[in-house]
Amino acid sequence: MKLIAVGLNHLSAPVEVRERFAVPAAKISEHLRQLTGSPPLQEAVIVSTCNRVEIYASSMDTEAGAERIFSFLQDLHPQSPLDRSFFYHHEGEHAVQHLFEVASGLNSMVLGETEVTGQVKDAYQLSSQTGCTGAALNRLFQKSFEAAKMIRTTSKIGEGSVSVGSVAADLAVQIFGNLQDKKVLLLGAGSMSATTARALHARGCRSIIVSNRLHERAVQLARELGGEAAHFEEWPEKFMKIDIMITSTAAPHPVVAREVLEILMDERRHRPVFLIDIAVPRDIERSVGEIENVYLYDIDDLKVIADQNLALRQKELIHCRDRIHTLVRKFMEWLDKHPGRNDQAFRKAALLNKGLNPLSP
C-alpha cells in the first residue's frame, strides 16, 4: 500500500485559484465515492478549507493514483486546462510528513494555529462515514492527530499572536483582563481597524462603537460587530465611555491631539484607556502616550511584538519538524509491514459508489 497527497494551499496558489477548487461540504461524500469507486485509488480523504484543498489517498500504483486525482481536479473545472504548477504532489514518507505538519498547524498561514486540527478531523470523519477509508488512511490520520497533540503539549509553536490585530487584542487583555464589560471606539473603519475589532470581539468584547467620516461605512461595520454607529464629530463625546480606541483614518495629519486628550482624560478622572493607532500617517500625536493612564501603541509597536512572536514560533518549527519526523518513521515502519491491498475497505467504497449496502453478504 502506498500513499499519495495532492493539493494546493496559501503558499502554492493565490486565493482566486484556491476558491475555484474549494469543494462544498455537501459535495465531498459524492466526490469521495467518485475517487474510490474503482482502481487505482482504494481510499481517499478530501480536506477543503479557506486556505487549502488537499486529497490524501492510498493506491498500489502511485503514478496512476496521482493521475486519477489530477483527472478528478480537472473535472471540477472542465472549461479550462488544469495548471499543475499551483499544486504540490507528495508520495510515501513525504505525504505522511505533509499531513502531520498540516494537522499540527506547522503548514498554516498563521504558524501554530490549532483550528486546522479540527478541520482535518472533520474531513477524516466524513470520509470514514462515507466508507472511503481503510487500514492505511485510518492509521495515517489517527497518527496525525497524535502528532498534533504532541506538538501542542511539548512545544511553544502556538504561543504569541503573529498578526497586528491579534497582538493588539492580546495587549488589551493584559491591560484590562476580562474584556466582556469593556467598550471599544473605532475611529475610522479601515480594514486593519476592523480586523483588530474582530479580534477584540473574539476575546469577549461586546460593546463596540464605530465612528467614521463616511457614516454608511460606520453603520455597516457596526452592524457586523453588533455595535453602534456614531458620526465622526461625535467621537470626543463617545470617548468618555470607552476603554479602548482604535484609530485608522485616512487623514494626512493627526486627528487626536494631546491637548484634547488631556481635557478628556481629566473629565473621565484618568480612567485607563488603551489607544491603538494603526493609521499611516498616524492619527494620534505620539506625546499622547505620556498622559497618565493612557496606553498608546502604533502599528510599528504592534509589528515588533508580532515579529518577536513569529521568530519564537519559527525557532520552535525546526524542533517540531524533528519530533514529527520521528513519528513519520514509525508510521512508515508500520506501513511497510502492511503492504497488501485493503480489499474489505476497497469493496465497501466500491459498493457505496454504486449505491449498494456494503453490509450485505
> Which residues are marked as active site?
50
DSSP state of 60: S
| CA dist., res. 39 & res. 291, Å (int) | 72
What length does the chain have?
Answer: 361
**Sequence-ordered alpha helix ranges (H) in 177-227:** 191-202, 215-225
Contact 302, 164 (CB under 8 A): yes
Q: Which of 107, 139, 55, 177 is nearest to 328 (CA)?
A: 139
Contact 65, 36 (CB under 8 A): no
Q: Which of 209, 160, 203 is nearest to 184 (CA)?
A: 209
List beta partners, residue 318. none
| CA dist., res. 322 & res. 106, Å (int) | 12
| CA dist., res. 99 & res. 108, Å (int) | 12
Contact 97, 324 (CB under 8 A): yes
| CA dist., res. 121 & res. 200, Å (int) | 28
Strands of 41-48's sheet, edge to edge? Answer: 41-48, 52-59, 2-9, 88-91
Render 226-250 in DSSP notation, one character per residue.
T-EEEEGGGHHHHHTT-SEEEE---
The residues near 290 (Cβ < 8 Å, ≥ 6 apart) are 258
**Residue type for 120, please?**
V
* Residue 113 CB neighbour total at 10 angstroms: 15
